[in-house]
Amino acid sequence: MKDIVRAIRSGHWPSLVAAWLHFEVSFMAWLLVGALGVFIADEFHLTATQKGLVVAMPLLGGALLRIGAGVCSDWFGPKPTGLALLAGESLVLVWGWLGVSSYDELLVMGLCLGIAGASFAVSLPLANRAYPPAHHGLAMGVAASANSGIVLAAFFAPRLAQSVGWHGVFGLMAVPVVVTLALFGMLVRRDIGGSSAWRDAGRWDHVAGLLKQPFSYWLCFLYAVTFGGFAGLCSFLPIFLHDHYELDVVTAGSVTALCGLAGSLIRPWGGHVADRAGGRAVLAWLLPATAVLVAVVSALPPFAWAVPLLVAAVASMGFGNGVVFQIVSDRYSKQMGLASGMIGAAG
């Protein structure tokens, strides 16, 4: 523990706090549709296919926008890019609060809410640039542990929706986003900007260079397994538990929150272990273990077994998230924004 505290003090920790806060609040907003999925499905009388599509739209929007956010983070710097994303999130949340009266409008709003998912391509490059290379894995693991926002969204959103309705929850969510916008502007150091190497060589040369490297596609695949599994599973769990295990919305949200907490808290340890043992060596045993856990869960075991299996599966994915991005930071330290956006989009 002393080593971790010493490592955190080695960089600009206020910027790390800002990166964590940006991703935490954005992750809450990003997965809000999934957390409120049961309420939304009941209001619009959605079929099983429509439920899945509604939950998937913010994830799709986040994937599409992460690449652009990563490019902007490298070119303009994480601070202005992060402020722009938070401003956009607040507008979409107000739309969800005051509008959205049809299924089609719900899909478009969900797609636009993907702007919150693009926070990933700002928070991780910011953490990376605020710390020396020896502690990149830990710093980015701490910043990315803010995907614990799913815990808060899954736990509180259903409870609040019972009192103020799902539209009202969107309005309430806009408040912490605006507060975070102000704090982010104050905490992030001014000189943590875009990569000078990126600007000198030209932005599109870096894009083309990254796209030509086969290793980047392997990292995309690995992150699609770890983070894609984490985000997708946590987003759909409330509906899954409600439909297959007949849990009420509050209990389903609590189980989802437990899974999200496990996957989020363990992520920094994944980066820390990878800093010491090497990311590839860790993934060699982690991925098979994750595959076994997911296969057992897919067989729909009794609920008493399903909960610990789900927690273990999501935790292994969270650990893997930290490992994969330790490899990314080693390989693409000068292109962290673009690499985070591209690989994050795959997730």
CATH classification at residue 155 = 1.20.1250.20
Distance of CA 298 to the CA centre of its chain: 23
Q: What is the pLDDT of residue 70?
A: 79
Residues 6+ apart with CB under 8 A from 300: 244, 306
The pLDDT assigned to 167 comes to: 93
Does the residue 198 lie in any domain?
A: no
pLDDT digits (tens, 9 = 90+) for 161-173: 999 999 999 999 9
Domain count, the chain: 1
Residue type, 295: A
- pLDDT at residue 147 above 60? yes
Rounded Cα distance between 45 and 32, Å, is: 19
pLDDT at 198: 46
Q: At 210, is the pLDDT very low, low, confident or very high (cuts 50, 70, 90)?
A: low
Residue 106 within any structural domain of the chain:
yes
4 has pLDDT over 80? no
- Domain region containing 23: 12-192+209-346
Q: Which residues contact 21 (CB under 8 A, 6 or more apart)?
A: 146, 180, 183, 184, 187
Dig out the tokens for 186 from the structure: 């104050």
Which helix (H) or strand (E) is 40 found in, with range?
helix 37-44
Position 310 in a domain? yes
- DSSP notation for 272-323: HHHHHH-HHHHHHHHHHHHHHHHHHHHT---HHHHHHHHHHHHHHHHHHHHH
Residue 201 resides in a domain? no
What digits encode the pLDDT tens for the residues 246-286?
888 888 888 988 888 888 888 878 877 887 888 888 888 88
pLDDT band at 184 (very low <50, low <70, confident <90, very high): very high
Note the helical H segments in 113-213.
Answer: 114-117, 120-129, 136-144, 149-187, 196-201, 203-211
**Would 299 be classed as within a structural domain?**
yes
Tell me, yes or no, whether 269 lies in a domain.
Answer: yes
Statement: residue 218 has pLDDT above 90: no
Asked whether residue 199 is domain-assigned, the answer is: no
Specify if 203 maps to a domain.
no
